C-alpha cells in the first residue's frame, strides 16, 4: 500500500468512529515509513507487539505518538519495555505485575496498564479469565508504580465480525463490574478491543481504544 492509501484508510476510519474512541495503529512488521504515514494522517497512538521492534521504531519516531505494548510481554523484556512504553495493555499475571513494579520503581516511573482478558476462554491464549481478574486487580492495587486503567481483549478470530460480539460483551461486563466495585487506586477508563474486521462491533459494545493493523496497512507478508 502506498503512503497516500494509508493516509486515506486512516481518514476513513477517523470519519466513522465516535470522538471518544481512539484509533490505535497496530504496527507489527510495518516499516517506519508506514508508521510515520499514519501519524501524519492523525493517528496518535501506536501499538507494538515486540519490544525489539519498538526499540528502533521509537528511536526513529519518538514522541510524535504514544506507545502501547499490545503483545505478550516476556519477563526478561520487562526492563526495556518499561523504558519504552507509555502503557502496557497485556498484564495478565501477578508475576508480571510485580516485575513491572520492580523495574518502574528503579526508574522512578509510574506505568499505566490494562489487564488482558481471555474472553474466549481459549487454552492457548494469554490473558486472565473474567472470573479471576478481581483477585489480580486487588493485588495490583497495592503496587505503587503501576496503575490499572482498564481492560484489553483480543477474543477468538472469526470471519464474521458479529461472532466477536459475545466476547466483547463479556469483557465490557467485566469492565463495568470492576468499575462499580471502585477499588482504590484502580480506574476503569480504557476498554481496548476490536481489530480490523470487528472494530465497529467492539465500539457498539463499549470499546474506547480500537487496535487496527491490516485495515490501515494491508495484509502482512508472513
Ligand X SMILES: *Cc1c(COP(=O)(O)O)cnc(C)c1O
In this complex, which beta carbon is closest to ligand X, that of residue 2 or of residue 214?
214
Q: DSSP letters along the chain, please?
A: --HHHHHHHHHHHHHHS-TTSEEEEE-TT--HHHHHHHHHTT--EEEES-HHHHHHHHHHHGGGSEEEE-S---GGGHHHHHHH-SEEEEE--HHHHHHHHHHHHHHT--EEEEEEE-TT--TTS-SB-GGGHHHHHHHHTT-SSEEEEEEEE-----SSGGGGHHHHHHHHHHHHHHHHHT-TT----EEE---TTTHHHHHHTT-SEEEESHHHH-PPP-
Instruction: Decide: is 211 part of the binding site for ligand X (CB under 6 A).
Output: yes
Instruction: Decide: is 70 part of the binding site for ligand X (CB under 6 A).
Output: yes
- The footprint of ligand X on residues 128-167 (CB under 6 A) is 154
Q: Which residue is nearest to ligand X (CB)?
A: 213
In this complex, which beta carbon is closest to ligand X, that of residue 143 or of residue 199?
199
In this complex, which beta carbon is closest to ligand X, that of residue 30 or of residue 172?
30
Pattern of binders to ligand X over 15-44, x per CB under 6 A?
-----------x-x----------------
- Binding segment for ligand X (CB under 6 A), chosen from 35-43, 54-62, 123-131, 210-218, is 210-218
Instruction: Decide: is 68 part of the binding site for ligand X (CB under 6 A).
Output: no
- Binding segment for ligand X (CB under 6 A), chosen from 96-104, 119-127, 169-177, 212-220, is 212-220
Q: Which of 65, 195, 202, 209 binds ligand X (CB under 6 A)?
A: 195
Amino acid at each position: 500500500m502506498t503512503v497516500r492509501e494509508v493516509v486515506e484508510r486512516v481518514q476513513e476510519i477517523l470519519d466513522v468512529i465516535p470522538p471518544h474512541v481512539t484509533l490505535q495503529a497496530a504496527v507489527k512488521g510495518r516499516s517506519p515509513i508506514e508508521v510515520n504515514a499514519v501519524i501524519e494522517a492523525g493517528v496518535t497512538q501506536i501499538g507494538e507487539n515486540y519490544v525489539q521492534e519498538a526499540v528502533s521504531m521509537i528511536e526513529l519516531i519518538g514522541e510524535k505518538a504514544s506507545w502501547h505494548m499490545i503483545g505478550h510481554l516476556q519477563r526478561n523484556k520487562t526492563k526495556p519495555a518499561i523504558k519504552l512504553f507509555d502503557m502496557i495493555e497485556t498484564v495478565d499475571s501477578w508475576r508480571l505485575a510485580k516485575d513491572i513494579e520492580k523495574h518502574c520503581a528503579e526508574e522512578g516511573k509510574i506505568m499505566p496498564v490494562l489487564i488482558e482478558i481471555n474472553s474466549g476462554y481459549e487454552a492457548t491464549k494469554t490473558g486472565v479469565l473474567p472470573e479471576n481478574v478481581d483477585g489480580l486487580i486487588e493485588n495490583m492495587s497495592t503496587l505503587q508504580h503501576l496503575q490499572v486503567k482498564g481492560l484489553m481483549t483480543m477474543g477468538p478470530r472469526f470471519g464474521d465480525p458479529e461472532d466477536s460480539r459475545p466476547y466483547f460483551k463479556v469483557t465490557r461486563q467485566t469492565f463495568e463490574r470492576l468499575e462499580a466495585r471502585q477499588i482504590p487506586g484502580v480506574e476503569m477508563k480504557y476498554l481496548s478491543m476490536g481489530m480490523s474486521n470487528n472494530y465497529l462491533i467492539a465500539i457498539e459494545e463499549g470499546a474506547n481504544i480500537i487496535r487496527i493493523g491490516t485495515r490501515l496497512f494491508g495484509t502482512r507478508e508472513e
